[in-house]
Structure 1
Amino acid sequence: MRSSEPRHHQRKRAREGEVGTESGDVELPPQLPQEKKGSACQSPPHSRAPPSPEKRTNSCAGEGDSDCVFVPAPSTSCGGGTSGGGGPHQERKLKQATLVSFGLINDASLFRKEIADRDAQIDELRERLSSMESRVAEAESALAASEAQLSQVALRAEHYQRVLREEMLRTARQAKSDARRALHQKHFELGQIAMWHSSGREVWVEGNRPKELIMQLEELSSRRDEVEELKKAAEKRVRQLLRSSDEDSMTPELQNALMESQEAMQLYTSEFAALGSSIQAVKQRQLELDHEKKAFLKEIRRVSDEDASEFMAVLAIGQGQRYVLMQLLGKGGFSEVWKAFDLQDARYVACKIHRVQREWSAQTRLHYRRHADRELAIMRTLQHPHLTRLYDEFEHGEAMFVSVMEYSQGADLDTHLKRYGCMREMEARLILLQVVSALRYLAAQEQPIIHYDLKPANILFHSSNASSLEIKITDFGLSKLIQSRDGPHDNPTIELTSQGTGTYWYLPPECFDTVATPRISNKVDVWSCGIIFYQMLFGRRPFAEGESQRRIWQDKLIVSSARTLRFPDTPRVSQEAKDLIQKCLEYHPSDRYDVHQLSQDPYLQRTSRRSTRSERPSSSLLPPSLPSSALAPTSVAEGKGDAVT
């Protein structure tokens, strides 16, 4: 048995050379000769045999014997029993000379020092192990508590999501009901579509508000005509009285009559002017009502399409019913766009549901799917604050797939221009800056992208707040992906193999070349920027305004009219803005700006007011040397479906 004396006392005595009967005992290292199993006991093959137990006891009796160390006796004898009858815990003592004879140590003091050092290391490791075990126990306890808390949070989150789903479903049902109730009410206020019995054609029947304005306008016009006649009569009477006063002397009666006639003439003149102002106000209200009726007709078509959609009865789509369908935004030939609520990320999104028609041929299906996959592949890589982001995509049934995109609350630029006609130059420049920033990002990609269908209908206001002009560019269905480029600021080209697509008012002349296959670059988008900027400033497009898509293509109206660019006299626009438009609308692509050159134009780069009317000083949104990697990221608008081409 080992001594119960504290270990640090043992180490102290060992350093002083006072190894006792118990404290200096060590186990024989594995280098000691061992006896083979199953054979008779043999003496170790050394020149000197170990002394007998009696001699060992007598020679090591002294506690301070420096030539003596203690090792535990082997636990078993050669015959399998315990040696000396002491059992496995029996210890034996060997003199220093015996260990030296086995070649184990040369100096007992070094051996004792090593033992002390090892004991100190063992104690330190035990303390560290104890500390680590304590920390592990604490960590396991904290982990168990965290897991329990996480389980509670997961249950609570699942409950909240379930409640949120029910609430959003209730909101969606209420919104659909409110929309139909509002339509019913507006039928009486604005009018409705009725069937003309004799011809079977649909006709518009005016509602109460337009009728009231028509009646007010008729009354005001009638009264103005009366006042005009009275004013003319009063003027004639004044002229007659003035002639009479020249011929004869002015009598008091004549003077009073002249004063009364002049007073009446002034009253009629004032009333005539007031009636004119009232008539103009009524006409302005009629104009606003016309815009309201157009929006009402658009809502009628939307609700009608929503009622006819098979998704009217579908509450939610996606994995785990993630997207709650709120309302139909728009419908195209082969797709529907729904406003939806993302239960996982708690945000509104736009779900574009693509439908592959069953009656299509295999080739048509393959072509449509490739077209849609190319659009999604392009959007998947885009991370820019003025480009609509793609969040998710998944299959729905056997013949449909869904792309989930960023949702914009505002209307598109086309609706805004139809409503207000034109914009102030300051506002138009701000929108152009954002468009050019997005185009520069597209052109700076490793595989440059040409949007090809840039137009006001594809520029969305991200917020419904009228004071916010933040925009998002959407609809990459016709975009072109250029496979290679020579440098960061080169202008790579690609063959235009899809002639006849796009919106013709916004395409440059080279896109109408039917003799040879033209090569296009991002200068196509620059031309579109010039058309859009012109339209924002002057309220009309510079070429083929009022013409149909069919006639523009058949008669090549863009090719014939785009050589001459004219600017209206009103509204007044700065010369710098006109110069920029001219650079964007150069007939020959070689003379036209590319996207990089457009972004460097002084009109877009300036940071102080020059000659632009009503424009305040503002910082440039496009620094002169902004790398594409610095354009950090951050939609589909209401009423927007597929583009009609």
Structure 2
Amino acid sequence: MQEFRHFDPQKLELLEARIKGNRSSQQPIMIADDSNHSTSTCSRGSPSDDIEVMQSETPEKERKKRKRKGQDSDLSGPKKISEYFKAATSLSPGRTSLGIGILPKSPPSSSYPSQMMSSPCGNSNDYISHSSQSPKPARPRFSESSSISTQTEMSLQDLELKERQHQSHMRVKEETIETLNSTTQDLQRRLDSAQKLLEKVKEQSKKSTEKIKQLLIEKARAENKEARTKSMEDRLRLGQFTTQRQGAKFVETWNDGYAFTDLVKRQEKIAKEREELDQQRKSLMKRKPPNSPHPSSKSRPKQNGPNDEGFAKPFPEFMNHAEFYERDEILKLRQAAFKKEEADLQGELEKLERERNLHIRELKRIHNEDQSTFRDHKVLNDRYLLLRLLGKGGFSEVYKGYDLKEHRDVACKIHQLSKEWKEDKKANYIKHALREYEIHKSLDHARVVKLYDVFEIDANSFCTVLEFCPGNDLDFHLKQHKLMVEREARCIIMQVVSALKYLNERKPPIIHYDLKPGNILLCHGSTCGAIKLTDFGLSKVMDDEHFNSQEGGMDLTSQGAGTYWYLPPECFVVGKEPPKISSKVDVWSTGIIFYQCLYGKKPFGHNLSQASILEQNTILRATQVQFSPKPTVSQEAKDFIRRCLMYRKEDRADVLALAKDPYLMPSNKKSSAAAAAHASAAAVSSPHNQLSNSENST
């Protein structure tokens, strides 16, 4: 601190202005001692050292400096300090070009130190020489509000390090950009090749689809031609429809072919031969030898009376035992041969009848296919290729189709609305079809036919795409084979109950309501395979809004619909309010189907039409089921049918309870559940007997 007192007051003033004023230069100016004026050079100083020096000065020292400064300034005369920096101001902007930044300007009273600071080295010596010749008047004290700006000092090594780091970062960035560009170009090349490959695959797939379509059409036409050729051949062998006029109308009648004619002739021939055999046997019995070798008069046959010509018939000549035994054995063998031949003819007749049923079905199919508007292998919805007609219902046609996208066989059910229908009838039909679609599309079970798609064809037709099952339905099988063994029938009923259980376990539960053999599809065409339920057009959804378990179920709003042979008695009750139904409707239908499979006929109204069933109240009087002695059926199967066909719905089991029936359980579980089932059957039989007794008394 003592060193600053030997400095010139003007130098101290410049140092103070340099510290307290606003700085515009980057590097501080170091001022040397008086003895070094001639050899002073520009040097770098530390801003912190200057600040410490100035802060260490006391007010007394400040006043002394000002006094010395006033004395020196009187010698040189009045002159402003800005005049000494006129030459230096032109060089100060060059210091800001280094990119360090320009500091804010100080007030006008302290502007001259910044000019001093911005001057390059070498100008300070000129200023010192001028100040010694013309002293400057005393400067007023700086305001304490002037700010002290900080300055960061960086060495050349630091700058070079920063520059090297910056260059290394730039190189890394350039390398990264180059790598990314090369990766992008590689990915772009891969994308282009993948797109070309995709286009090529699409083109190949399109060609393959067209080829598959062409092959399928050719195969369908060949099969159709073969079927028509076979049908024409069978017209003569099995029979055909002929049109005959009856009054003012033309009616189609069926005429059997030569196979049936030949079979009838053979049966007539066998019948005549059997009559002759019976006559020979009667005559042989008359010549049967007596037991004793000399028959008495009692054992002799009485003499016959005179005949028409007036002559008496001779006594029959007795045969010995050997001859009689020989002739009797021949007649017995011939009689057994006739029975065997009759049985063979009966079996052949049943086989011809089954072939005739298939032949009639094929004739109807060909006729309906010729009349159909979709017979020319059309492609529906740019996806489904129609191959051949499977069958025709009231307002729909079912075609076997092929899905060109998923490459699978499908069944296309085409619903056609009549142009003569009124708009309300069309709307009602479409409403029921859409309702069936909404119910069916949510079902996913192995024993339920899957629904794939629904789309509109035109203003009067739409199509539903279903899972294709190659076999026939159970109704056609029963018409062909009449009945089946209990084991096969039980297997079918187990699968039906499994599907019904799925429908009742989902939320909300579903009543099928139209369960019958025609809606049970045999996947492999025989009763030894899997089955699937179809046709949910009359299904009922038991949601919370319509179903009330305390009231007995939901209202039957479609009374009169369905197949009457398979509906329970509660569906035929007529009153002020509609009857209540539940899943027990399907339980009744299951029992009817099981009975028909075992006995080859329906338990109620077998030979009646639906109109006759409705007029005669056949189902309302079906209080008890009767079993035939033949064929032989186990008692467990009969009890199961009785539990399904309980007259009162309160006594009948629901679907979930039916799924736990001991008859449908595996053999190891039957014994444990049999006792409970017999107890429940005994408890249920008492009110049933009371009901039947009361009805019999009335």
**2:465 aligned residue (404, 407, 413):** 404
**1:260 aligned residue (320, 323, 329):** 323
**1:388 aligned residue (436, 441, 449):** 449
Deviation at 1:232, TM superposition (A): 3.8
Report what 2:258 is aligned to: 208
Deviation at 1:261, TM superposition (A): 3.2
Report what 1:572 is aligned to: 632
Equivalent AA in structure 2 for residue 513 of structure 1: V
Q: Does 1:142 align with 2:190?
A: yes
Q: Distance in 1 between matches of 2:97 and 2:342?
A: 128
Report what 1:48 is aligned to: 28
Report what 2:60 is aligned to: none
Over 3 Å counting, the alpha-carbon distance change for 1:240 and 1:166 in structure 2 is: same
Instruction: Give runs of aligned pairs for residues 9-48 of structure 1, distance below 5 A.
Output: 44=24, 48=28
Q: Does 1:302 align with 2:302?
A: no
Q: Distance in 1 between matches of 2:154 and 2:42?
A: 22
Q: What CA deviation, in whole Å up to 9, does each residue of 1:499-547 have, x standing for no partner?
A: 0000011111110011131111111111111111121122222222211
| SS class of match (1:589) | coil
Q: Figure out how many residues of one structure are paired with residues of the other and give that number.
A: 526
Equivalent AA in structure 2 for residue 366 of structure 1: A
Over 3 Å counting, the alpha-carbon distance change for 1:130 and 1:592 in structure 2 is: farther
Q: Distance in 2 between matches of 1:491 and 1:445?
A: 21
Deviation at 1:110, TM superposition (A): 9.7
Report what 1:171 is aligned to: 219
Deviation at 1:444, TM superposition (A): 1.8
Q: Distance in 2 between matches of 1:50 and 1:503?
A: 118
Report what 1:65 is aligned to: none
Deviation at 1:310, TM superposition (A): 1.9
5+ unaligned residues in a row in structure 1: which ranges? 1-41, 60-76, 85-100, 249-253, 612-645
Deviation at 1:202, TM superposition (A): 3.4
Q: Distance in 1 between matches of 2:244 and 2:497?
A: 49
| Sequence identity (%) | 35
Report what 1:493 is aligned to: 553
Over 3 Å counting, the alpha-carbon distance change for 1:247 and 1:555 in structure 2 is: closer
Q: Distance in 2 between matches of 1:289 and 1:56?
A: 133
Q: What CA deviation, in whole Å up to 9, does each residue of 1:442-473 have, x standing for no partner?
A: 11222221110000010011123x36421111
Report what 2:270 is aligned to: 220
Over 3 Å counting, the alpha-carbon distance change for 1:281 and 1:103 in structure 2 is: farther
| SS class of match (1:240) | coil
Given that residues 191 and 204 in structure 1 are in contact (C-alpha distance below 8 angstroms), is that contact kept between their aligned partners in structure 2?
yes
Q: Distance in 1 between matches of 2:642 and 2:294?
A: 66
| SS class of match (2:366) | helix
Q: Distance in 2 between matches of 1:504 and 1:609?
A: 35
Q: Distance in 2 between matches of 1:535 and 1:420?
A: 12
Q: Distance in 2 between matches of 1:385 and 1:208?
A: 45
| SS class of match (2:641) | helix
**1:427 aligned residue (464, 488, 499):** 488
Q: Distance in 1 between matches of 2:245 and 2:289?
A: 60
The structure in which a higher percent of residues are helix is 2
**2:584 aligned residue (507, 517, 523):** 523
Given that residues 29 and 42 in structure 2 are in contact (C-alpha distance below 8 angstroms), is that contact kept between their aligned partners in structure 1?
no
Report what 1:324 is aligned to: 385
Structure showing greater relative contact order (alpha-carbon pairs closer than 8 Å, 6 or more residues apart): 1
CA RMSD of aligned residues (A): 3.9
Deviation at 1:138, TM superposition (A): 4.2
Report what 1:603 is aligned to: 663
Deviation at 1:80, TM superposition (A): 13
Q: Distance in 2 between matches of 1:575 and 1:470?
A: 26
Instruction: Give runs of aligned pairs for residues 268-287 of structure 1, distance below 5 A.
Output: 268-287=331-350
Deviation at 1:571, TM superposition (A): 2.4
Report what 2:616 is aligned to: 555
**2:529 aligned residue (452, 466, 469):** 469
Given that residues 514 and 538 in structure 2 are in contact (C-alpha distance below 8 angstroms), is that contact kept between their aligned partners in structure 1?
yes
Report what 2:356 is aligned to: 293
Given that residues 571 and 579 in structure 2 are in contact (C-alpha distance below 8 angstroms), is that contact kept between their aligned partners in structure 1?
yes
Report what 2:74 is aligned to: none
Over 3 Å counting, the alpha-carbon distance change for 1:352 and 1:57 in structure 2 is: farther
Over 3 Å counting, the alpha-carbon distance change for 1:572 and 1:105 in structure 2 is: farther
| SS class of match (2:289) | helix
Over 3 Å counting, the alpha-carbon distance change for 1:380 and 1:108 in structure 2 is: farther
Equivalent AA in structure 1 for residue 656 of structure 2: H
Deviation at 1:188, TM superposition (A): 0.9
Over 3 Å counting, the alpha-carbon distance change for 1:139 and 1:183 in structure 2 is: same
Deviation at 1:161, TM superposition (A): 0.6
Deviation at 1:494, TM superposition (A): 1.7
Q: Bigger radius of gyration, 1 or 2?
A: 2
Given that residues 400 and 412 in structure 2 are in contact (C-alpha distance below 8 angstroms), is that contact kept between their aligned partners in structure 1?
yes
Q: What CA deviation, in whole Å up to 9, does each residue of 1:411-463 have, x standing for no partner?
A: 11111112212222221111111111111111122222111000001001112
Q: Distance in 1 between matches of 2:489 and 2:607?
A: 22
| SS class of match (2:224) | helix
Report what 1:349 is aligned to: 410
Equivalent AA in structure 2 for residue 564 of structure 1: Q
Over 3 Å counting, the alpha-carbon distance change for 1:81 and 1:413 in structure 2 is: same
Instruction: Give runs of aligned pairs for residues 80-119 of structure 1, distance below 5 A.
Output: 103-104=151-152
Q: Distance in 1 between matches of 2:550 and 2:494?
A: 21
Q: Distance in 1 between matches of 2:367 and 2:263?
A: 29
Deviates more, 1:570-579 or 1:285-294: 570-579
| SS class of match (2:432) | helix
| SS class of match (2:222) | helix
| SS class of match (1:328) | strand
Deviation at 1:255, TM superposition (A): 12
Over 3 Å counting, the alpha-carbon distance change for 1:565 and 1:468 in structure 2 is: closer
What is the TM-score with the length of structure 1 in the denominator?
A: 0.73
Q: What CA deviation, in whole Å up to 9, does each residue of 1:385-422 have, x standing for no partner?
A: 11111111111122111111111111111111122122
Equivalent AA in structure 2 for residue 161 of structure 1: T
Report what 2:209 is aligned to: 161
Q: Distance in 1 between matches of 2:637 and 2:174?
A: 81
Report what 2:302 is aligned to: none
Given that residues 235 and 262 in structure 1 are in contact (C-alpha distance below 8 angstroms), is that contact kept between their aligned partners in structure 2?
no
Over 3 Å counting, the alpha-carbon distance change for 1:131 and 1:291 in structure 2 is: same
Q: What CA deviation, in whole Å up to 9, does each residue of 1:168-209 have, x standing for no partner?
A: 222222233222222211111111222346765433322121
Equivalent AA in structure 1 for residue 544 of structure 2: S
Q: Distance in 2 between matches of 1:230 and 1:492?
A: 71
Over 3 Å counting, the alpha-carbon distance change for 1:229 and 1:174 in structure 2 is: same
Q: Does 1:184 align with 2:247?
A: no
Q: Distance in 2 between matches of 1:455 and 1:43?
A: 105
| SS class of match (1:559) | coil
Deviation at 1:116, TM superposition (A): 8.8
Over 3 Å counting, the alpha-carbon distance change for 1:105 and 1:498 in structure 2 is: farther
Report what 1:3 is aligned to: none
Deviation at 1:570, TM superposition (A): 2.5
Report what 1:240 is aligned to: 289
Q: Distance in 1 between matches of 2:551 and 2:173?
A: 69
Given that residues 501 and 656 in structure 2 are in contact (C-alpha distance below 8 angstroms), is that contact kept between their aligned partners in structure 1?
yes
Deviation at 1:367, TM superposition (A): 0.9
Instruction: Give runs of aligned pairs for residues 52-91 of structure 1, distance below 5 A.
Output: none
Over 3 Å counting, the alpha-carbon distance change for 1:150 and 1:201 in structure 2 is: closer
Given that residues 491 and 522 in structure 1 are in contact (C-alpha distance below 8 angstroms), is that contact kept between their aligned partners in structure 2?
no
Report what 1:10 is aligned to: none
Q: Distance in 2 between matches of 1:50 and 1:564?
A: 128
Deviates more, 1:378-387 or 1:146-155: 146-155
Q: Distance in 1 between matches of 2:598 and 2:592?
A: 10
Q: Does 1:315 align with 2:377?
A: yes
Report what 2:243 is aligned to: 195
Q: Distance in 2 between matches of 1:545 and 1:81?
A: 115
